[in-house]
Chain A
Amino acid sequence: MSWLVVAPILVPFATAIIAFLLRERPLGRWISVAGSALALLAAGLLMAQVLGQGVIAAQMGNWAAPFGITFVADNLSAVMVVITAIAGLAVAIYATAEITPRMEYLGYHTLFQVLLAGVTGAFLTGDIFNLYVWFEVMLIASFGLLILGGRPEQIDGGIKYVTLNLISTVLFLSAIGLLYGMTGTLNMADLAVTVGQVENQGLLTVVAMMFMVAFGVKAAVFPLFFWLPASYHTPAFSVSAVFAGLLTKVGVYALIRVFTLIFDRDIGYTHTVLLWVAGFTMVTGVLGAAAQMDFRKILSFHIVSQIGYMVLGLALFTPLALTGAVFYLVHHIVVKANLFLIAGVVQRLTGSTGLSRIGGLYTHAPLLALLFLVPAFSLAGFPPLSGFWAKFLLIKAALGVEGWFIAFLALAVGLLTIYSMTKIWAEAFWKPHPDGIEPRIAMLGRAERWRLLTPIAGLAALTVTIGLFPEPFVQFAEATAAQLLDPSSYVTAVLGERP
């Protein structure tokens, strides 16, 4: 059954190769869509398997753990892989209408699929050095995507993105080196066992902090998030949607994985730091958004603020809080990718994303207004959408450990999120267009309309579904949290039964 674990990684790689060979023909973009659909199928099969028989591990080349490279699918990995595939398919369809033949020739679809492969690999690997390699695969592809097209603001944003991510990479590498020096292993399940035998536990906490900073840059937490709002509004909309949905979430995933599996010994210190980080991230993100007047920049700052909620779940470290964090991760990927896709349509209809220069969408494109309201309300946490349950679980968890202040912060940030969404609504949708343009959906070509709006509608439907029928999702998130807090099933799946 080990093939199911690697299939979600192999499919995007194969798609990338075929899409590159066909990049001069329209067929190339449909290969990308078909490959994404196939990846979703593979991810779904993996999910079914994990639900059926618990954690599965695959040893590459039949080299037994901890000597070879292991890929592991537990609940968290499986759900992240599925949601990655969903976001990937939505963006692949959207990209068929947005990406120009010139960008296709330069390898857009290939880079996109390699990015998906890197993200999926990072979710599935059970080896910390291999995680580094997947981070780099993802990073190289994201560099390429970010500056594809080569407009000056892209280059400018690219410089900031590249430099800060390089620092995080080197820090991650150094932390791996030190951890290896102390424990003599790189397999994450083996690390979970061996960190207990390290004599100098204080040094271990230092290494834990290095990992926190390295992943913190990727996840864009306070005070390491500056690269994100500097670059995410510059590339093509398909690119920023997939970045917004997936890239920072890989950082959050890595934080959750490492701080539940390996560094769970000095919780009093590490998780307190995480709690402060979470609080500051939520507040600075939402305040940054309040000062912006560009559709995509507001959304970028909101990514930062939402990351704070997920880190909050990890920092509280109770079953309920981790349930909330997992639920939030899934909800956030769907909603955020969707909002960026909508920003793309808005830009097409009105000619800009600067809020002062656009308007009139409510009167002339009511369908788009409706499609915007679903993820926007969900992001702000209105019942009965997915964001409500995510925030509800986290705040309940905070109240459960008597964290009155952090619960208050989470509620206040939710209110300010509504303020930002109202601002977008009032400026882009409610007021008439300053140039008197009437932005109608009919302005898009027939084929274009379907390709742009189907993914948006699909993701919105997913948000509504999660919101209306949260029980199975919450139950699954609870099982995931239980698995994270008691890593024994993970360790057993990788290393086998031990006396």
Chain B
Amino acid sequence: METLLSLTIGLLVAAAVYLMLARNVLKFLFGMILLSNAANLLIFTAGRLTFGEPPLIAAGEKLPPPGVANALPQALVLTAIVIGFGLFAFALVLVFRAYTTLGTLNTDDMRVAEPQEEADR
């Protein structure tokens, strides 16, 4: 199972890198989203996969039953997904704003902050 997930992660990263190499900022952003999902899967896999019970402690017990799943990677992934959601929502609005104010999504043409003639001097 770990092997399968590792291959999936590799595939996701490859697709992400392909998308991120594009000059289009929106494609780059989609690549980033794939990459962050790959990272989340990586954490999940790093915590070892078990066909375990949910890590819940029954009423009256002090310990969870043996063989429960490791809850920590899931908590980490959840945190990472939430943070990623916020970041990407912001980035998406920013890309849209860039398109309306700068009139382009091509990174080569985004030179307002670093004007060309200044770089040539």
Shortest distance between the CB of A434 and any CB in chain B (Å) = 17
Check: B74 CB closer than 8 A to any chain A CB.
Answer: no
Cross-chain contact A140 with B86 (CB below 8 angstroms): yes
Residue of B nearest to A136 (CB): B83
Contact with A along B68-99 (1 / 0, CB 8 A): 00001100100110010011001100110110
Beyond A169-B87, A177-B42, A177-B73, 8 additional pairs, beta carbon < 8 A: A132-B80, A143-B94, A155-B102, A156-B110, A166-B87, A170-B36, A176-B76, A180-B47
Interface string of A168-182 (1 = CB under 8 A from B): 011001101110110
Residues 1 to 53 of chain B near chain A (Cβ within 8 Å): 20, 25, 28-29, 32, 35-36, 38-40, 42-43, 45-48
Once the chains are docked, how many angstroms separate the CA of A158 from the CA of B102? 12
Partner of B97, one of A155, A157, A231: A155
Residues of A within 8 A of B98 (CB): 155-156, 158-159
- Report whether B111 and A156 are in contact in the complex, using a CB–CB cutoff of 8 Å: yes
Whether A163 sits at the interface, judged by CB under 8 Å, is yes
Q: Are A166 and B112 in contact (CB under 8 A)?
A: no
Q: How long is the Cα–Cα vector from A477 to B111 in the complex, in angstroms?
A: 42
Query: Which A residues lie within 8 Å of B80 (CB)?
Result: 132, 173
Instruction: Pull 29 A–B residue pairs with CB atoms less than 8 Å apart, ordered by A.
Output: A139-B87, A140-B90, A147-B94, A156-B98, A157-B113, A158-B98, A159-B94, A159-B98, A162-B90, A162-B91, A163-B28, A163-B32, A163-B91, A166-B87, A167-B20, A173-B40, A174-B42, A177-B46, A177-B76, A178-B42, A180-B46, A181-B46, A186-B72, A229-B114, A230-B114, A231-B113, A233-B113, A291-B121, A294-B118
In whole Å, how far is A449's beta carbon from the nearest beta carbon of chain B?
30
Q: Is A234 an interface residue (CB 8 A)?
A: yes
Instruction: Write out the residue numbers on chain B whose beta carbons fall within 8 Å of the beta carbon of A294.
Output: 118
Q: Give 1 or 0 for each of A222-234: 1 = CB within 8 Å of chain B CB.
A: 0000000111011
Chain B contacts for A180, CB-based, 8 A:
43, 46-47, 72-73, 76
Within 8 Å CB of B72, what residues of A? 180, 186
Residues of A participating in the B interface, judged by any CB pair closer than 8 Å: 129, 132-133, 136, 139-140, 143, 147, 150, 152-160, 162-163, 166-167, 169-170, 173-174, 176-178, 180-181, 186, 229-231, 233-234, 291, 293-294
CB pair A156–B87 under 8 Å, yes or no, is: no
Contact A162 B94 (CB under 8 A): yes
From residue B12, how far is it (CB to closest CB) to chain A in Å? 11
User: Given A133-B79, A180-B47, A181-B47, do A150 and B32 touch, yes or no (CB 8 Å)?
Assistant: no
Q: Which residues of A contact B36 (CB under 8 A)?
A: 166, 169-170, 173
Q: Which B residues are CB-close (under 8 A) to A133?
A: 79, 83
When the two chains form the complex, which single residue of A129, A136, A155, A169 contacts B76, counting CB atoms closer than 8 Å? A129
Task: Report which residue of B20, B25, B87 has the largest number of chain A beta carbons within 10 angstroms of its beta carbon.
Answer: B87
B39 touches A166 (CB 8 A): no
Q: Report the minimum CB–CB distance from B26 to chain A (whole Å).
A: 11
Residues of chain A within 8 A of B86, CB atoms compared: 136, 140
Instruction: List B contacts of A163 (CB < 8 A).
Output: 25, 28-29, 32, 91
Contact (Cβ within 8 A) A166 B113: no
- Which residue of chain A lies nearest to B28 when distances are taken between CB atoms in the complex? A163
Residues of A within 8 A of B102 (CB): 152, 155-156
State whether A166 and B32 are in contact (beta carbons under 8 Å apart), knowing that A136-B87, A152-B102 are contacts in the complex. Answer: yes
Instruction: Determine whether the beta carbon of A150 is less than 8 Å from that of B97.
Output: yes
> What is the CA–CA distance of A95 and B65 in the complex, to the nearest angstrom?
56
Residue in B38, B73, B111, B118 with the greatest tally of chain A CB atoms within 10 Å? B118
- Give the complex CA separation of A132 and B80 in angstroms: 9
The docked-state distance in angstroms from the alpha carbon of A142 to that of B22 is 26
Contact B32 A159 (CB under 8 A): no
Q: What B residues does A150 contact at CB under 8 A? A: 97, 101
Contact of A230 among B20, B29, B48, B113 (CB under 8 A): B113
Residues in B whose Cβ lies below 8 Å from that of A170: 32, 35-36, 39
Most buried by B among A143, A155, A158: A155
Once the chains are docked, how many angstroms separate the CA of A155 from the CA of B91? 11
Contacts of A231 in B (CB 8 A): 113
A158 to B83, CA, bound (A): 19
Which residue of chain A has the shortest Cβ distance to B118 in the bound complex?
A293
Tell me whether A178 and B46 are in contact (CB under 8 A): yes
**Complex Cα gap A157–B28 (Å):** 16
- The distance from the CB of A304 to the nearest CB of chain B, in whole angstroms, is 15
- Asked whether, in the complex, the Cβ of B32 is within 8 Å of the Cβ of A173, the reply is no
Known contacts A166-B87, A177-B46; decide if A159 and B121 are in contact (CB<8 Å): no
Shortest beta-carbon distance, B40 to chain A, in Å? 8
Complex formed: what's the CA distance from A360 to B68 in Å? 73
Query: What is the bound-complex CA distance between A173 and B114, given in angstroms?
Result: 31
Interchain CA distance A139-B91 in the complex, whole Å: 12
